[in-house]
C-alpha cells in the first residue's frame, strides 16, 4: 500500500496509524520475495540474473532466511530491520529503500546478522 493511500485510509478511519509498521514490514518482505523464483526442488531459489543486475551479489546475504523482522518509528521516520544480511549490504539497503520511497514511505533499512 502506498503511503498516500494509507494516509487517506487513516483519515477515513479505515486504518490506524499503528498499522504502518505491519504495512512497511509486509512491503519489505514482498520486495525480498520478489528476488526469488519458484523452484521444483527448493520451493524457491534466488533469481541469479536479477541479483547480478541489482549488484546484490556484491553483498554478504544469507538468502536462505532473509527477512524484515521489525519496523519502528523514530523521529518521524521509519526504520526497517532486515535479518540475515551484513550491516554493510548497501546494495540491498538501497534496493529496498528506493522502492519504499517510490511508494511514498520514508524508511531507512538496517541490515544485520
Over residues 10-19, the mean pLDDT reads 96
| pLDDT tens digits along 56-96 | 999 999 999 999 999 999 988 999 999 999 999 999 999 99
Q: Each residue of 60-95: b (16+ CB within 10 Å) or e?
A: ebeeeebebeebeeeeeebebbbebbeeebebbbeb
User: Cβ atoms within 10 A of the Cβ of 20, count?
Assistant: 20
The structural domains of the chain, with segments of one domain joined by +, span 20-112
Say what percent of the chain tops pLDDT 70: 100
Length of the chain (residues): 113
Q: Which architecture characterizes domain 20-112 according to CATH?
A: 2-Layer Sandwich (3.30)
Over residues 90-111, the mean pLDDT reads 98
* Residues sharing a CB contact under 8 Å with residue 58, sequence separation 6 or more, in sequence order: 91
- Give the CA-trace dihedral at 51, 52, 58, 62, to 10 degrees: 30
Residue-averaged pLDDT of the chain: 97
Say what percent of the chain tops pLDDT 90: 97
pLDDT of residue 76: 84
Amino acid at each position: 500500500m502506498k503511503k498516500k493511500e494509507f494516509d487517506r485510509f487513516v483519515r477515513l478511519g479505515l486504518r490506524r496509524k499503528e498499522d504502518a509498521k505491519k504495512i512497511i514490514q509486509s512491503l519489505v518482505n514482498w520486495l525480498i520475495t520478489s528476488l526469488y523464483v519458484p523452484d521444483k526442488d527448493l520451493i524457491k531459489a534466488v533469481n541469479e540474473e536479477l541479483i547480478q543486475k541489482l549488484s546484490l551479489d556484491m553483498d554478504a546475504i544469507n538468502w536462505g532466511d532473509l527477512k524484515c523482522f521489525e519496523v519502528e518509528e523514530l523521529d518521524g521516520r521509519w526504520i526497517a530491520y532486515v535479518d540475515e544480511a551484513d550491516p554493510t549490504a548497501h546494495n540491498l539497503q538501497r534496493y529496498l529503500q528506493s522502492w519504499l520511497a517510490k511508494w511514498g514511505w520514508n524508511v531507512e533499512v538496517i541490515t544485520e546478522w
